[in-house]
Structure 1
């Protein structure tokens, strides 16, 4: 299983724009029926990035339309949502979503935050046709895989924004951005790669250049901290 997990991490890191490659590793390692990857709210907007099958896509779209469901809970809490038996559970907090899926072939639902370090971007939704749970090791694996997917999704969104001319990803000064990355790394306790992606995501969301954001960070006009809701920026 460990070898399969390592292979899944490698496959996710190399997935690029291949939507199927973002979902299949979850299905293979966790033995679920279907999977989807969705961005939710800022900074990327709400959309399905990848779905393994029509039902996985439907589950995403219902949650977008209704504003409730496991993906929203995973995003809000930053923690996995484990629903091992959908048919027997009473979802007081998902009433509309629960009614909408009562005739679908869904026995269990799981959602994991899609993230880059502490920056929450959306969720990975998994479903099983039969009731079942995920043990602690499987939940850790799903969380690690979701982190790899989060970096891939954010990178792809930033690259597309650069191609569209929406935001300038080329820094005015590589040294400036490098220094700002170190500041964000210290503020959030994340990796250098994730710190730089967080700077780029802030630039994307504010329609500014990475260089401008880096200058604000170094000038003390912008800082980041973590909270129960994820990352907070402080202008």
Structure 2
């Protein structure tokens, strides 16, 4: 909020990886905008996550009804002027969204939008790291097994090459996939090394075969 001229902001998880939940909100209105989108399954946060791209609505009062009719009807009395949503994503893992609202119509220029996207990338890593740290050690460590660590290390290198991301982010992708599928990192790593899981994005989806 200090970086952009907005009234409020919220960070939320969405979808299957971490579930749908408001992690933090600047005020009750920001939290309500999240809750409405959770309940209805539509809105700028869902679109940002679905398309892996920012959603910028500078004049919500005149244009929201065509994009999100149920959401627009639900917040019609809230008098929101503008709403901006940025996806939280680590590699192919779609985690949630950051949304910012203004009580009056407002515009984010390309430089501001780029800066907000960069900030959302940092938030995404923190959100995923925090979620994994609260989960079982099965997903965040390898139970002290040196062989297991070698497998995860090798799989991290494969994912790094597939997605052209850092080693830390590649490991987060493996952790997040294991967590969301209730599997161990070692099992997922074996599937990666055997070619049963391929995080390369082809035609908008991750390849995974049994």
TM value normalised by structure 2: 0.92
CA distance in 2, matches of 1:153, 1:38: 9
Q: 1:198 — aligned with what? A: 173
Q: 2:149 — aligned with what? A: 174
SS of 1:68's partner is coil
- Number of residues of Structure 1 aligned to a counterpart in Structure 2: 206
Farther-moved stretch of structure 1 (118-127 vs 135-144): 118-127
Q: 1:97 — aligned with what? A: 71
Structure 2 unmatched ranges of 5 or more: none
Q: Cα distance, 1:227 vs. partner?
A: 4.6
1:204-219 matched pairs, under 5 angstroms: 204-219=179-194
Structure 1 unmatched ranges of 5 or more: 1-26
1:87-126 matched pairs, under 5 angstroms: 87-126=61-100
Q: 1:188 — aligned with what? A: 163
- What is the root-mean-square deviation in Å for CA atoms of aligned residues? 1.6
Q: Cα distance, 1:51 vs. partner?
A: 0.8
Cα distance change, pair 232–57 in 1 and its aligned pair in 2 (3 A): farther
User: Is the Cα–Cα contact under 8 Å of residues 119 and 230 in structure 1 kept in the other structure?
Assistant: no
User: Is the Cα–Cα contact under 8 Å of residues 182 and 192 in structure 1 kept in the other structure?
Assistant: yes
Matched, 1:32 2:3: no
Q: Cα distance, 1:88 vs. partner?
A: 2.2
1:1-235 matched pairs, under 5 angstroms: 27-162=1-136, 167-171=138-142, 172=145, 173-227=148-202, 229=204, 231-235=206-210
User: Is the Cα–Cα contact under 8 Å of residues 117 and 147 in structure 1 kept in the other structure?
Assistant: no
